[in-house]
């Protein structure tokens, strides 16, 4: 079978079993996963802790060997140099060279990615600005707070401007302001035609940015599909309108019940806490 050129990732019966030689127990981390990610979309992996999200992402990147099944990234083996130059991976925790500062870290990664000096200097300036680390660029990463380390890790991913960006819990450990900035950044990347795969166990986090979702539990797919379709409640409908008066509400209610509809909720819509927080600290 020939892969279509617009398919970024394709897995076939991807299975990973971790074996423990001492206790002879094996853990099935993921089982028979068939995933297809189109180029240019944002693909979300959802699932509770230990459901196999990280394992799936690592398998996609060729960082773990599938026990069974196969992975193709841009129709190639994910371990090929060609694929490696097109991917960026944000690990779920930040793993940095502690003795390097932000500048040195990015120069290192830039050199690994084969970016020339002049371009590298420009790009570093740019990504440090994007993640808001310009002021801390000369500090060694072992002094960084968790959020700063996370941002430096993200800068590393952005630096080489990869085609496929894999983000494992991208907003883990970040405050709401920063989370929002990252979400906007992700949307911006999509606009530039990048393919993004991300994982999360915080549902609200993924909800409004993913094109497609896949829900994992115990290593198997529970549900997959278009984000809007999955979340939309087809038989229900809501109005939110301004300058509501009790009379108006009463009239609408009567009209609905007269037609045989059943009202399951009524009341004032609430802001979500994130928005409220952002408004309060004046970032919105």
Partner 1 sequence: MRKLLAIVILTFKEEMHSKLLFISLFIALVCVGSSKLFTSITPGAEKAFVTDISFTLIGWIVSICTIVVVSDIIYKEVTNRTIFILRTNPVNSLQIILGKYLGLAFSLGLALLIMELIYLGVFYYYFRTVMNDIGVLFLFTYIKVLIIVSIGVLGATIFSRITNVLFCVSILIMGNLTEQIHQIAERAQSDFSKQIIEWSMKVIPDFSKYRVLEYVAVEVDYPRNMIVDGVIYGSIYIFITLFLAVLAYRLNDRLMEP
Ligand X SMILES: Nc1ncnc2c1ncn2[C@@H]1O[C@H](COP(=O)(O)OP(=O)(O)OP(=O)(O)O)[C@@H](O)[C@H]1O
Q: Catalog residues that contact partner 1 under the rule CB under 8 A.
A: 58, 61-65, 81-82, 84-85, 87-89, 91, 93, 95-100, 104, 107-109, 111-114, 116, 156, 160
Taking CB under 6 A as the rule, does residue 150 contact ligand X? no
Q: Could you tell me if 53 and 45 are in contact, meaning their C-beta atoms sit under 8 angstroms apart? A: yes
Q: Could you tell me if 214 and 45 are in contact, meaning their C-beta atoms sit under 8 angstroms apart? A: yes
Taking CB under 6 A as the rule, does residue 23 contact ligand X? no
Q: How many residues does the chain have?
A: 284
Q: Could you tell me if 171 and 182 are in contact, meaning their C-beta atoms sit under 8 angstroms apart? A: yes
Shorter beta-carbon distance to partner 1: residue 117 or 250: 117
- Residue 182 has a CB neighbour count (10 Å cut-off) of 22
In the list Mg ion, partner 1, ligand X, none, the entry touching 257 (Cβ below 5 to 8 angstroms by class) is: none
Select from 18, 97, 99, 108 the one that contacts ligand X (CB under 6 A): 18
Shorter beta-carbon distance to ligand X: residue 44 or 47: 47
State the nearest-atom distance from the C-beta of 170 to partner 1, in Å: 15
220: helix, coil or strand?
strand
CA distances from 44 to 104, 132, 227 (A): 32, 25, 9
In the list Mg ion, partner 1, ligand X, none, the entry touching 95 (Cβ below 5 to 8 angstroms by class) is: partner 1
In the list partner 1, Mg ion, ligand X, none, the entry touching 49 (Cβ below 5 to 8 angstroms by class) is: ligand X
Shorter beta-carbon distance to Mg ion: residue 203 or 244: 203
Q: How far apart are CA 87 and CA 160, in angstroms?
A: 9
State the nearest-atom distance from the C-beta of 137 to partner 1, in Å: 16
Q: How far apart are CA 117 and CA 220, in angstroms?
A: 45
Residue count, binding to ligand X (CB under 6 A): 13
Closest of 55, 68, 70, 65 to residue 11, by C-alpha: 70
Which tokens belong to 14?
């991807």
State the nearest-atom distance from the C-beta of 232 to partner 1, in Å: 36
Shorter beta-carbon distance to partner 1: residue 64 or 177: 64
Closest of 192, 169, 195 to residue 182, by C-alpha: 169
In the list partner 1, Mg ion, ligand X, none, the entry touching 29 (Cβ below 5 to 8 angstroms by class) is: ligand X
Taking CB under 6 A as the rule, does residue 52 contact ligand X? yes
Contacts of 263 (CB under 8 A, 6+ apart): 253, 256, 257
Name the residues that contact ligand X, by CB under 6 A: 18, 27, 29, 47, 49-55, 92, 201
């Amino acid at each position: 079978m020939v892969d279509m050129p617009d398919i970024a990732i394709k897995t076939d019966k991807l299975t990973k079993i971790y074996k423990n030689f001492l206790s002879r127990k094996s853990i099935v981390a993921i089982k028979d996963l068939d995933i297809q990610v189109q180029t240019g979309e944002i693909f979300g992996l959802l699932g509770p802790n230990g459901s196999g999200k990280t394992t799936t992402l690592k398998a996609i990147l060729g960082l773990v060997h599938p026990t069974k099944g196969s992975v193709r990234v841009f129709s190639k083996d994910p371990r090929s140099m060609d694929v490696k130059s097109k991917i960026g991976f944000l690990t779920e925790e930040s793993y940095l060279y502690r003795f390097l500062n932000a500048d040195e870290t990015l120069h290192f990664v830039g050199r690994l990615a084969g970016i020339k000096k002049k371009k590298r200097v420009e790009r570093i300036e740019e990504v440090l600005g994007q993640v808001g680390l310009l002021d801390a660029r000369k500090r060694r990463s072992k002094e960084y707070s968790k959020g700063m380390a996370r941002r430096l890790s993200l800068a590393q991913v952005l630096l080489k401007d990869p085609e496929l960006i894999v983000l494992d819990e991208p907003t883990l450990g970040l405050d709401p302001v920063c989370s929002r900035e990252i979400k906007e950044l992700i949307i911006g990347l999509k606009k530039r035609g990048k393919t993004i795969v991300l994982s999360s166990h915080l549902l609200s986090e993924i909800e409004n940015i993913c094109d497609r979702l896949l829900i994992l539990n115990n290593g198997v797919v529970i549900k997959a599909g278009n984000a809007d379709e999955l979340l939309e409640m087809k038989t229900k409908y809501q109005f939110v309108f301004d300058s509501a008066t009790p009379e108006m509400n009463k009239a609408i209610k009567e009209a609905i019940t007269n037609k045989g509809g059943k009202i399951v909720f009524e009341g004032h819509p609430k802001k979500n806490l994130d928005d409220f927080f952002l408004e309060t600290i004046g970032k919105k």
